[in-house]
Amino acid sequence: MAMRQLLRRARTCSLSTLNAGDGIPYGSLANIATDVAGRPIILISRLAWHTKNLAADARGSVLVGEIPETGDALVGPRVTVLGRFERVEDVNLRRRYLARHQQAAMYADFADFSFWRLEPASIHGVAGFGRIETLAPRAVFPAVSEMEALETSAIEHMNEDHGDSVQLYATRLLGGAPGDWRILAIDPDGADLGAGGKGLRLSFEEPVTSADGLRRTFAELSKKARETGL
């Protein structure tokens, strides 16, 4: 699903909340990550306006897009997820967020910071002029219970038993410099790799929703990476 994959690739978003008191929409910039299903996760300080707004009214949205380097910015794809934010305390969501934003580990545990997840009500995507679609959450964020259950063990298995393949993913498939690359997060659409504070996104060609499918996908990527170096 192109909308979900766009969210997976994004590192920042335009966060819209309703201003406490007058209800006027307030836009701000935030870092973004996703849970296994693809729903947006943000890490925000209670000192910020947007956090105070969400505490008063949980309704909000995030907008992510990919702007062309030249020409009309409006021809680039973008997606807006609308819904209600909820504060979450989950070690796996924390790990997934820090996989995308490793520098945030410096302040993620500060007392005034907390993680929030957007529970979608609708998703509005624009792929360019005249290419517009509004979808229900189930069409963009399918049930991924098996992937949620196996993510942690799959990460450990790949890093401990297939570390050589992880290095090849980073260097040969993604163009990263040699380093101690490790898989930090896995979801149906790909995996986040990290080394020395740097991060790379390894995208899958097709969504994966089972342990068998994940094994086959990583094996195929390993084969492709080895052949790339020939």
Alpha-carbon gap, residue 124 to 27, rounded angstroms? 17
> What are the structure tokens assigned to 19, written together?
């201003």
Alpha-carbon gap, residue 168 to 174, rounded angstroms? 9
pLDDT-above-70 percentage for the chain: 98
Asked if 7 and 40 count as a contact pair (C-beta separation under 8 A), the reply is yes
pTM reported for the whole predicted model = 0.93
Alpha-carbon gap, residue 185 to 194, rounded angstroms? 9
Instruction: Give residue 148's identity as a one-letter amino acid code.
Output: E
pLDDT at 230 over 70: no
**Tell me, what's the pLDDT at 43?**
98
**Tell me, what's the pLDDT at 106?**
96
User: pLDDT for 162-192, tens place per residue?
Assistant: 999 999 999 999 999 999 999 999 999 999 9
Asked if 188 and 144 count as a contact pair (C-beta separation under 8 A), the reply is yes
Phi-psi region of 160 (alpha: psi -120 to 50; beta: other; left: phi over 0): alpha
Q: Of how many residues is the chain composed? A: 230
**Tell me, what's the pLDDT at 229?**
66
107-141-122-19 Cα dihedral, nearest 10 degrees: -10
Asked if 36 and 151 count as a contact pair (C-beta separation under 8 A), the reply is yes
pLDDT-above-90 percentage for the chain: 90
User: pLDDT for 20-65, tens place per residue?
Assistant: 989 999 999 999 999 999 999 999 999 999 999 999 999 999 999 9
